């Protein structure tokens, strides 16, 4: 749904909709799983999302927004958030590599089947694929996907789902600064302000999560001592 919906919107709008994952995590965890959200976490979520709006300026060049694409990207974020919360409760903590591998295998099979159904697979011309494309593809497979998913599932075990999904706020920042370092792109004052706001938001979320973990650990120690 993410890839399909991304065909019809600007990169800024895509980044904005995809960055709603931490917000959906908070909404689902508080409404369905009845988890308490601290003030710091709420402020962190709002700050991170507000900073991202400033950073990507998603409404530039979007005179005609695709409602179907917006719905598709929003649903993909909701499904990802729900899956993240489900994984924290029912995935074996020792199987982070297996979890990441299953995610890619099942997802790959589903996309290949869909590709056959819509006729895309038959239009694939291997002879026109360049070496640069192959290198980029391998980079995405090995580092961005294999390593990235393993780290993500590990974070789901040692931190809250909100912290693990804070990558949605960090990725646009990294992209902007890589553009500056590699392609000599200019960094505006708006970028600096947005980055600062986002980092403050993530710091508030991490601090809140750390305090909650400490309180839970202390509660377990006290309960064990009493027993």
Mean pLDDT calculated for residue range 5-28: 80
Pick left, alpha or beta for residue 125 (phi over 0 → left; psi -120 to 50 → alpha; otherwise beta): beta
- Coil, strand, or helix at residue 101? helix
Residue 100: the pLDDT is 84
Helix ranges (H only) for the chain are: 2-5, 11-18, 21-31, 39-56, 67-90, 96-118, 131-139, 148-158, 161-164, 167-183, 189-226
Contacts of 195 (CB under 8 A, 6+ apart): 51, 55, 173, 176
Mean pLDDT calculated for residue range 92-116: 84
Q: Model-level pTM greater than 0.75?
A: no
Residue 165: the pLDDT is 83
Pick left, alpha or beta for residue 119 (phi over 0 → left; psi -120 to 50 → alpha; otherwise beta): left
Higher-pLDDT residue of 7, 134: 134
Residue 203: the pLDDT is 77
Q: How far is CA 136 from the centre of its chain?
A: 20
Question: Where residue 215 falls among pLDDT bands split at 50, 70, 90?
Answer: low
Which two tokens mark 47?
């700050």
Residue 91: the pLDDT is 56
Query: Is 70 exceeded by the pLDDT of residue 208?
Result: no
Which residue bears the tokens 């890589």?
Answer: 178
Q: What is the DSSP letter of 145?
A: I
Residue 126: the pLDDT is 81
Residue 138: the pLDDT is 92
Mean pLDDT calculated for residue range 175-194: 79
Cα dist. 148→77, 141, 143, 153, 157 in Å? Answer: 17, 9, 6, 9, 15
* Residue 30 CB coordination number (10 Å): 14
Domain positions in the chain are 2-226
Which residue bears the tokens 């990207």?
Answer: 73
Residue 51: exposed, middle, or buried by beta-carbon count in 10 A (0-12, 13-18, 19+)?
A: buried
Mean pLDDT calculated for residue range 144-172: 83
Query: Is 60 exceeded by the pLDDT of residue 115?
Result: yes
* Residue 35 CB coordination number (10 Å): 17
Which two tokens mark 140?
């995405």
- Closest of 197, 203, 154 to residue 56, by C-alpha: 197
- Closest of 172, 166, 205 to residue 57, by C-alpha: 172
User: pLDDT (tens digit, 9 = 90+) per residue, 50-97?
Assistant: 887 887 676 665 556 688 888 898 899 899 989 888 877 765 556 788
């Amino acid at each position: 749904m993410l890839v399909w919906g991304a065909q019809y919107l600007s990169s800024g709008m895509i980044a904005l909709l995809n960055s709603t994952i931490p917000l959906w995590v908070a909404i689902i965890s508080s409404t369905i799983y009845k988890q308490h959200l601290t003030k710091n976490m709420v402020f962190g979520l709002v700050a991170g999302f507000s900073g991202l709006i400033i950073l990507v300026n998603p409404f530039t060049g979007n005179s005609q927004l695709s409602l179907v694409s917006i719905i598709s990207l929003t649903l993909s974020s909701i499904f990802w958030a729900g899956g993240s919360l489900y994984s924290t409760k029912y995935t074996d903590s020792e199987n982070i590599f297996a979890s990441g591998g299953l995610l890619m295998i099942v997802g790959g099979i589903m996309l290949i089947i869909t590709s056959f159904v819509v006729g895309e697979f038959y239009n694939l011309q291997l002879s026109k694929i360049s070496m640069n494309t192959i290198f980029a593809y391998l980079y995405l497979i090995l580092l961005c996907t294999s390593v990235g998913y393993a780290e993500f599932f590990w974070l789901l075990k040692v931190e809250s789902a909100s912290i693990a999904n804070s990558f949605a706020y960090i990725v646009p920042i990294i992209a902007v600064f890589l553009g500056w370092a590699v392609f000599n792109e200019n960094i505006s004052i708006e970028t600096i302000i947005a980055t600062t706001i986002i980092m403050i938001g993530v710091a508030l979320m991490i601090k809140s999560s750390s305090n909650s973990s400490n309180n839970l650990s202390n509660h377990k120690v006290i309960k064990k001592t009493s027993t």
